[in-house]
Structure 1
Amino acid sequence: MMIEIVPFTFEVSPIAIAGTSLWSLALYLGLSPLSEWVIDQLSRWFNFAERSLYLSQAEFERDRQRREMQNAFYASIFSIVPFFIFGGLCNFGIEATLGQSWAISIGTLACLSCAIYELGRRDGLD
């Protein structure tokens, strides 16, 4: 059915998806202050964009808290997109130079290392 709609096909390797996901998680955890900044900026942008849809201030203020919480949720979901893109670039670079198995192995090591770093960083904040 999709072949009838789209005249071309492309295949994405499951290994590439796994490697990209590992690298994006590693970058998201390792660069957590940056990920929090991205979430804040997306939330601000969503709130600004939604404010422009209302004509009256009273109508805007009526359910503002619910909409801001919903926008914060959407911002946290969409904040992974830039890290997924850079994770794909990291996976592609490692895969092109060292091979697919190394890309998965180094991605796993990076993910575990960044997770341990994040746990230590958050423990040090207390």
Structure 2
Amino acid sequence: MPVDFDTATIAGSALWAIAFYWGFSPLSDRLISALEGWLGADSPAASLLSVVPFLGFGGLTHYGLTLSLGGSWAVSLGVISAIGCGVYELGRRDGQASE
């Protein structure tokens, strides 16, 4: 079965990737640090490459939800997850700043 890359697939995958990136931000920070060790300090490529695994997981999540619940549910849950993880990340950073 070929994969259809329409705008809903791209948007849903990107929303899930953002949600995972914010939800697992300590992991993404460690990944950026590891990539900076390989590519050089303060390398913008490290920050860009750190997004790739989250795009992969986001695409797989969107694809799985599309198969099980349908495309509109996959995008809707991606929006809800991105908002929820964004609020979590803001609270996490505020908690770190107050320590």
Q: What TM-score, normalized by structure 1, do the two folds share?
A: 0.72
Deviation for aligned residue 1:83: 0.2
Of residues 13, 27, 38, the one that matches 1:20 is 13
Q: CA deviation at 1:46?
A: 1.3
Aligned mates of 1:108, 1:11 — CA distance in 2: 20
Offset of 1:92 from its aligned partner? Answer: 0.6
**2:29 pairs with 1:41:** no
Gap change, CA 1:104 and 1:28, over 3 Å in 2: same
Task: Extract unaligned runs of 5+ from structure 2.
Answer: none
Which letter maps to 1:89? L
In structure 1, list runs of 5 or more residues that go unmatched.
Answer: 1-9, 48-67
Counterpart-to-counterpart distance in 2, 1:12 and 1:90: 15
Structure 2 residue aligned with 1:94: 65
**1:11-67 Cα deviation digits (max 9, x unpaired):** 5211100000000000000000000011011111113xxxxxxxxxxxxxxxxxxxx
Q: Which residue, 111, 114, 118 being the options, matches 2:82?
A: 111
Structure with higher Rg: it is 1
Deviation above 4 Å: which 4+ runs of structure 1? Answer: none
TM-score, with length taken from structure 2: 0.91
Cα distance in 1 for partners of 2:16, 2:4 equals: 20
Alignment coverage as a number of residue pairs: 95
Give per-residue Cα distances to partners, 1:89-116, cap 9 Å, x unaligned: 1101111100000000000000000000
- Superposed, 1:2-81 pairs within 5 Å as 12-47=5-40, 68-69=41-42, 71=43, 73-81=44-52
Please give the root-mean-square deviation of Cα atoms over the aligned residues, in Å.
Answer: 1.2
Q: Percent identity?
A: 44
Secondary structure (helix, strand or coil) at the match of 1:12 reads coil
